Structure 1
Amino acid sequence: MNTTLSVGWIGLGAMGTPMSLVTARAGHRVTAYDMSPQALEAVAPDVASAESARAAAEGADVVVIMVATGPQLEAVLFGEAGIAEVLSPETTVMVMSTVGPRAMDEATARLLPTTSHVVDAPVSGGVARARTGDLLVMVSGTEDDVASARPLLDAMAGNAPVVGGRPGDGQRFKVVNQLLCGVHIAAAGEALALADSMGLDVAQCHEVMNTGAAASFMFNDRGQRMVAEEFDEARSALNIFVKDMGLVTDAARQVEQPVPLAASAEQLYLRGRREGLGLKDDSVVYDLLRRR
């Protein structure tokens, strides 16, 4: 079986850009569309440019969608210039955005008259791991559909477990992932703000706590940015967690599951956006909490 695929790529944001590049450098033929000409220039010449989403998708073996929100996914697929009209019954659509279970379920159902080949594959790991093809991808879909996308997953991911047999299960796993990430960032900010308020050496507190049971990936990673006060370069914007914690609480509401810690963290991120910090790095929650 030929493992070189033609890929239509839609969305070249902070994550989509390095993901498309590692895919192309693994030998796949990638043609991308993004509304930003600068984003298209940034991936040339490894990734070819298309003038529209439809042009990128037409004739592709796999169409990868890496947009930010559920409404953007709907617009890409079914909007006025949506790609659904140019897909064939053989096209595999792989959604790698974090859009939530509801949006994924609705998109899968609406695609059925066009193609039944849908892979739900949201990613986690951040920009640095995207650049090295070492992401965690939570994959769901039929065995055959996942197999058809596996060469791309192998290029982008260090770990790409199949977490369910239906599109939507990947989003459900990602919701659990984002609950943990969002709460851990908020907890890191709260802990270091408390240390600061008590007059402790915040850098030493971060160093010491990372050697014990209180350590976590987010406390280590975001805590470094909190200590250094590196809020302006948004490696992961606070607005992302406004969206993602909203997806967490929405998914929990659908199954009547209380998520009090996630709800509290969501309110912190919403407060940050209301205070004009949405485009700052999400580690800015530390600064938000220590303001007096």
Structure 2
Amino acid sequence: MLDQQTVAVFGLGSMGYGMASSCLNAGFTTFGIDITDKPMEQFRAEGGSTGNVHDHLSELDAVLVVVLNAAQTEAVLFGENGIAPSLKKGTVVLACATVPPEFAKNMENRCANHDVLYLDAPISGGAAKAASGELSIMASGSPSAFTSAKPVLDAISATVFELGDAAGAGSAMKAVNQLLAGVHIATMAEALTFGMTQGVTPEKFVDVISQCAGTSWMLENRAPHIANGDYTPLSQINIWPKDLGIVLDVAKSAGFSAPITSAALQQYMVAVGMGLGKEDDASIAKVYARNVGLKLPGDKA
């Protein structure tokens, strides 16, 4: 039985909503907060706490910040209505967005000024694993932050990688992961559409390559979206210019050249320019398809 907790989840996108649901399933009193009303109303209907979370900040044991980027993370904690100054001593913030390591270090220091613990806790695993409480978490922070976060970590994750006793190491590892993930998605789309030029259907591509040496988790997860012609956004194209941009910024600061990452980033930027930013990131295949005049499954044209 997990320890009883009162938690708030800021950001009810596909990942945050699943994480909030996992907290609720663990028996925690859980507030779900988003900039739009619909997911909040749905979460409350499923058992989420009602009322304004700002009236209950002093009751929170943990805060999960599952937003898009560093700016949104900072706004939740220290913006005009930032919550950090009003949290009780010892509340732990699990910051889950992909952010630069230096930003995570800065947030840890600023939270410490308010006696708030900070766990640099980027996540991986996709929406399905978020909903089932089976995420992988690349975490770093003080021993006290890990101890305070343990009930929530147990509720939302299958694997927690403890990467260091200060913020920054978790975000550094997430940058490594996002380099691979972003490149794998783009390369999968390139390989799938290349196969189509040779008479290999997307369905056959999935059947065969998923069982061969060229497979990857991203291929097995995203290629079926293309084969099914379903680009419902479980992870948007818009995420990758940000995340691969972070990778390249970190690489630049280290004097490291990342040409494959740069090439993948350009493809995502083309996809955004085509108006695909809010589609599932598997829709990067449409960039390749357009360039060579291919018709993908589900295309109406």
TM bin, normalised by shorter chain, reads: over 0.9
Q: Which residue of 1 aligns with 2:133?
A: 133
Q: C-alpha separation between the residues in 2 aligned to 1:196 and 1:182?
A: 22
TM-superposition CA deviations, 1:86-133 (whole Å, max 9, x none): 123322111122223232122222223112511111111111111111
Q: Which residue of 1 aligns with 2:157?
A: 157
Q: Which residue of 1 aligns with 2:281?
A: 282
Which 5+ residue runs of structure 1 have no aligned equivalent? Answer: none
User: Alpha-carbon deviation of 1:243?
Assistant: 1.5
User: Alpha-carbon deviation of 1:144?
Assistant: 2.2
Q: C-alpha separation between the residues in 2 aligned to 1:202 and 1:8?
A: 41
Counterpart AA for 1:57 = L
User: Alpha-carbon deviation of 1:198?
Assistant: 2.5
Q: C-alpha separation between the residues in 2 aligned to 1:40 and 1:244?
A: 26
Q: C-alpha separation between the residues in 1 aligned to 2:167 and 2:160?
A: 15
Which 5+ residue runs of structure 2 have no aligned equivalent? Answer: 293-301
Q: C-alpha separation between the residues in 2 aligned to 1:56 and 1:279?
A: 33
Given the two structures, how large is their TM-score scaled by the length of structure 1? 0.93
- Contact 2:135-2:158 within 8 A present in 1 as well: yes
User: Alpha-carbon deviation of 1:200?
Assistant: 2.8
Q: Return closer, same or farther for 1:50/1:65 CA change in 2, 3 Å cut-off.
A: farther
SS at match of 1:15: helix
Aligned pair count?
290
Q: Return closer, same or farther for 1:114/1:284 CA change in 2, 3 Å cut-off.
A: same
TM-superposition CA deviations, 1:18-65 (whole Å, max 9, x none): 11111121021212322222111111242213435x335333111221
Q: Which residue of 2 aligns with 1:48?
A: 49
Q: CA RMSD in A?
A: 1.8
User: Alpha-carbon deviation of 1:228?
Assistant: 2.2
**Is structure 2 residue 246 aligned with structure 1 residue 247?**
yes
Q: C-alpha separation between the residues in 2 aligned to 1:107 and 1:20?
A: 22
TM-superposition CA deviations, 1:231-289 (whole Å, max 9, x none): 2x111111111221111111212222211111111111111111110011111111211
| 1:81-92 equivalent positions in 2, closer than 5 A | 81-92=81-92
- Contact 1:11-1:67 within 8 A present in 2 as well: yes
Identity %: 32
Q: Return closer, same or farther for 1:100/1:208 CA change in 2, 3 Å cut-off.
A: same
Q: Which residue of 1 aligns with 2:295?
A: none
Q: Which residue of 1 aligns with 2:94?
A: 94
- Contact 2:202-2:226 within 8 A present in 1 as well: no
Counterpart AA for 1:106 = N
- Contact 1:92-1:115 within 8 A present in 2 as well: no
Q: Which residue of 1 aligns with 2:236?
A: 237
List, as ranges, runs of 4+ consecutive aligned residues in structure 1 with deviation greater than 6 Å.
none
Q: C-alpha separation between the residues in 2 aligned to 1:67 and 1:6?
A: 20
- Contact 1:8-1:64 within 8 A present in 2 as well: yes
